[in-house]
Amino acid sequence: MTSTRYGAIKHDVGIFSKMEMHLTAVLKLLEQKPDCVEARNKVEEMMTLVTSLTPYQIDRSTSLSPQLDRIMTETSTLDLNTLLKEGKLVTKVDNTDLNMISFPGQVQLLQFFVRIINAKNILEVGTFTGYGAFGMAEVMAPGGKVTGIEIEPVFCDLVRKRAREYNLNVEVIQGKAIDVLKSLAKEGQQFDMIYVDCIKTEYLEYYQIIMDNNMLSPNGLIVCDNVMWSGKAITRSDSAGSALDDFTKTVVQDKRVVSEKNRMDQLEEMNEVMTAYAALLRWDSVDPAQS
Ligand SMILES: C[S@@+](CC[C@H](N)C(=O)[O-])C[C@H]1O[C@@H](n2cnc3c(N)ncnc32)[C@H](O)[C@@H]1O
C-alpha cells in the first residue's frame, strides 16, 4: 500500500492510500489506450484531489508545536528491531510499526476537541511515545491532567522523561489496557475526554468498562481512532474490521450516548489516517424514557 510522508514518519492514509494505488493502476492501463484522453484527464484530476487533501487539511489547521514535531522526529529514530531482539518489548512491534504514532492531522483534531469541551481530565488508551498525549496536554484546561495507558515499559519511560522535560502534566500507567481501565474504574475515576487508540478487537470491551462504570463525565467525549479500519469495518474483511463494525453498531444503539461518525469524517476531509472517529458524547439530557 502506498503511503504519504508528513514529518518524519511514513503514514498509511487508509482508504485514500487505496484510492491512490487503484488510480495509479488505472492510469497505467489508460497509458495503453491513446483514444481515452478524457478518461485519463478525469483520473488525473481525481489523483490530484486524493493526494492533495491531507496536506491541505494539515496546512489549513492550526499548526502543532515544535515540541510535538520533536516527538515525531525522535520517534522516527527509535530502533524497535533492536529492542525486540534484545527482548525489551512485551509486544511484537518492530520498525514497520513506527507509523502507529498518531498522524499530525489527528492531533490537530484532538486539540480542537479538547479546546471546545474545555477538557481537564483526559485519558488516552494506547499512548506510544506520547504524541497525542502531549498534544492534548498542551491545550487542556488549566490544572488538567492527561493519563495514558501503555503496555510497553520502554514507551512509558520515554513519555515520563518528556513530561518532566516539557513540564506538562502527563502521567502514564504501564499495563494492559483492560486491566488498567478496570482498576481506574474501581478507583472511581472519571474523565472529560477519552482517546481510544489501542487494540481494535478490544474497543467494545474498553467502551463497556468506561460506560458501565460511569468513567465518562457528563457531556464528556470519547474519540476512537481507526473505526473504519481502511474500509475493512464496512467489508468485515478481517477480525479487527468485524470487531470495529460490531463496536460502532453497539454504540449507535446505546441510549446513554450520542454518536457521530460521518461529520467527523468530513472534519477530517475524509482523511482515513484517523480512519474516521466515533465520537461519543455522554449526554445526560437524553430522554430517560428512551433509555
Ligand atoms: C496506535 S499506538 C498509540 C499511538 C498514540 N495514541 C499516539 O498518539 O501516538 C497503540 C499503542 O498501544 C500499545 N498497546 C498495545 N497493546 C496494548 C494493550 N493491551 N494495553 C495497553 N497498550 C497497548 C502499543 O504498545 C502502542 O504504543
**Is the minimum distance from the CB of 275 to ligand 1 under 6 angstroms?**
no
Per-residue confidence band for 10, with pLDDT thresholds at 50, 70 and 90: low
Instruction: Report pLDDT for 24.
Output: 93
Q: How far is CA 129 from the centre of its chain?
A: 13
100, 154, 184, best to mutate for ligand 1 pocket (most atoms within 8 Å of CB): 100
The grid cell for 105 is 492531522
Instruction: Report pLDDT for 152.
Output: 98
Per-residue confidence band for 53, with pLDDT thresholds at 50, 70 and 90: confident
**Is the minimum distance from the CB of 170 to ligand 1 under 6 angstroms?**
no
**Is the minimum distance from the CB of 223 to ligand 1 under 6 angstroms?**
no
Instruction: Judge whether residue 291 has pLDDT over 60.
Output: no
pTM of the complete model: 0.87
Alpha helices in the chain, H assignment, sequence order: 14-31, 37-59, 66-76, 80-85, 104-117, 131-139, 153-166, 177-186, 203-212, 232-235, 239-252, 262-267
Distance from C-alpha of 127 to C-alpha of 100, rounded to nearest angstrom: 10
Instruction: Report pLDDT for 289.
Output: 45
**Is the minimum distance from the CB of 199 to ligand 1 under 6 angstroms?**
yes
What average pLDDT does this structure show over 127-150? 98
Read off the pLDDT of residues 271-286 as tens digits, 9 standing for 90 and up. 333 333 444 555 443 3
Strand 4-6 versus strand 121-125 pairing type: unpaired
134 Cα–ligand 1 center, Å: 15
Which residue's CA is minimally distant from atom 26 of ligand 1? Answer: 128
**Is the minimum distance from the CB of 198 to ligand 1 under 6 angstroms?**
yes
Read off the pLDDT of residues 58-105 as tens digits, 9 standing for 90 and up. 788 889 999 999 999 999 999 999 999 999 999 999 999 999 999 888
**Is the minimum distance from the CB of 128 to ligand 1 under 6 angstroms?**
yes
Between the alpha carbon of residue 243 and those of residues 88, 94, 172, 234, 265, the distances in Å are: 30, 24, 27, 11, 20
Instruction: Judge whether residue 268 has pLDDT over 60.
Output: no
Could you tell me which of 85, 127, 132 has the C-alpha nearest to residue 112? 132
The ligand 1 atom nearest the CA atom of 132: 8
Task: Please state the three-class secondary structure of 246-280 as a single string.
Answer: HHHHHHHCCCCEEEECHHHHHHCCCCCCCCCCEEE
118 Cα–ligand 1 center, Å: 25
Per-residue confidence band for 288, with pLDDT thresholds at 50, 70 and 90: very low
- Residue 91, CA atoms < 13 Å, CB-side half-sphere: 16
Q: How far is CA 149 from the centre of its chain?
A: 14
The ligand 1 atom nearest the CA atom of 135: 8
90 Cα–ligand 1 center, Å: 12
Distance from C-alpha of 175 to C-alpha of 158, rounded to nearest angstrom: 15
**Is the minimum distance from the CB of 176 to ligand 1 under 6 angstroms?**
yes
Starting at the edge strand that comes first in sequence, how are the strands of the sheet with 191-196 ordered? Answer: 170-174, 145-150, 121-125, 191-196, 216-224, 278-282, 257-260
Distance from C-alpha of 74 to C-alpha of 8, rounded to nearest angstrom: 9
Instruction: Report pLDDT for 204.
Output: 95
Instruction: Report pLDDT for 229.
Output: 82
What average pLDDT does this structure show over 215-241? 88
**Is the minimum distance from the CB of 7 to ligand 1 under 6 angstroms?**
no
End-to-end Cα separation, the chain, in angstroms: 43
Could you tell me which of 217, 145, 209 has the C-alpha nearest to residue 181? 209
Phi and psi dihedrals of 62, rounded to 5? -55, 135
Task: Please state the three-class secondary structure of 94-144 as a single string.
Answer: CHHHHHHCCCHHHHHHHHHHHHHHCCCEEEEECCCCCHHHHHHHHHCCCCC
